[in-house]
Amino acid sequence: MALKRILFIGEYPNPVDKFRNVFFQNLVFAIAEKGVECVVISPVSITHYRKTISQIPLYEINKSKSGKQILVYHPRFISYSSKRFLCFNSGRWSEHSMQKAALKQARQIEGPFDCVYGHFFLGGGLAAVRIGQALGIPSFVAYGECSYETEVEFSYGEIKAEELKSLRGIITVSTDNRNELKQRKVFENYPTLLAPNGIDSELFHKMNKTECRQKLKIQNDLFVAGFVGGFIERKGTHRLLEAVNQIDGAYAAFAGKGEEKPEGDKVVFCDAMEHNSIPVLLNAADVFVLPTLAEGCCNAVIEAMACGLPVISSDLPFNHDILNDGNSILVDPMNIDEIRNAIIRIQHDAGLRERLSIGASETAKQLTIEARATNIMRFIEEKISGK
């Protein structure tokens, strides 16, 4: 069957958080571009937004690149944060409160829908399954969390089979991601689709390096390692900076925010950037370095490759679907010496830098959001049809 109308549930950009989960929005837009009517329910927390909640409308209309309209609802709910009390986490209360708001909103929207799609298990996925059961339609969940144990079980607890009655399939972003899920008995019999994250190739592509450096006020003659992500221990901000501090002639440019803000003479740029400005930083860099400890499938890595950057990242399973010796140097993300030596190799070996750059560009061509949307739609159609 050809999909005509899909209901999406999950955290989604709004007028206060314009780039909140923008990758989810990109997928919705890509599916809308293929002629599917898309409706989004993205509950917002009264306790989180507080004074700014009035700036978020109860519903709004988004438009894709070609003008396809996406109706987005923002019902309110009360969040109880995610705090541990002995064997209980208040995140379970928050999740149930969000689900209740999403379900109430779904019942008020005129049907029918072919299916309901939830982005991540908490904040969208379990709500989608619950809505699917209530409305009598199949549900699908996208699983892209870094760790099921820390991001689902710690906050919510065990997901039971009776909570998944309408679930028809799960979209995973990496082989490691899928294997982690399949190790849990409750999910072992559900069909899964491996669909690595995809990028907007119209936004992320090669640009003039000199012009990009001028915009960021970075000197043309410097060798610059680029970083995009949260300034946190998991992402490896300070491990990168420590490595760069040990290399003559090497500097670093950081896009992101967080408590561990990198500072020092070797930092040529460090600031939060809107998503559509990230290509400028990537094209101003000579190499992309992300010594991260855990990911589902990192969008920043794919975006860097689309801009033609060789990648230095973690030699860990979550990277192995997209990174190899043809587009990257994989290192122990906790080993400063390995990170430093990899940067030095890229810095001084122009042939290696060019070879990995070409490999990165070729890999990124296969990882577009349009191709990902097509794969996901085909998977959903097959599972609805019973294939």
Q: For residue 106, what pLDDT is reported? A: 98
Q: What is the pLDDT of residues 246-285, one digit of tens each?
A: 999 999 999 999 988 999 999 999 999 999 999 999 999 9
C-alpha 137, offset from chain centre: 26
CB 68 within 8 A of CB 5: no
Q: Which two tokens stand for residue 259?
A: 């408590």
Q: Phi then psi for 48, rounded to 5 degrees?
A: -80, -45
Q: Phi then psi for 38, rounded to 5 degrees?
A: -115, 130
Q: Which two tokens stand for residue 107?
A: 């019942």
Q: pTM of the prediction?
A: 0.92
Encoded amino acid at 228, one letter: V
Q: For residue 161, what pLDDT is reported? A: 93
- CA R_g for the chain: 21
Q: Phi then psi for 353, rounded to 5 degrees?
A: -60, -40
pLDDT along the chain (387 residues), means of 10: 94 93 95 97 95 96 95 96 76 93 97 95 96 97 90 89 95 94 93 95 96 97 97 96 98 95 97 94 98 94 98 97 97 98 98 98 96 97 89
* Runs of H (alpha helix) within 88-245: 91-108, 126-135, 148, 154-156, 175-182, 209-216, 237-245
C-alpha 150, offset from chain centre: 17
Q: Which two tokens stand for residue 321?
A: 């679907």
The three-state secondary structure class of 308 is: coil
Q: What is the pLDDT of residues 114-171, one digit of tens each?
A: 999 999 999 999 999 999 999 999 999 999 988 888 889 888 988 999 999 999 999 9
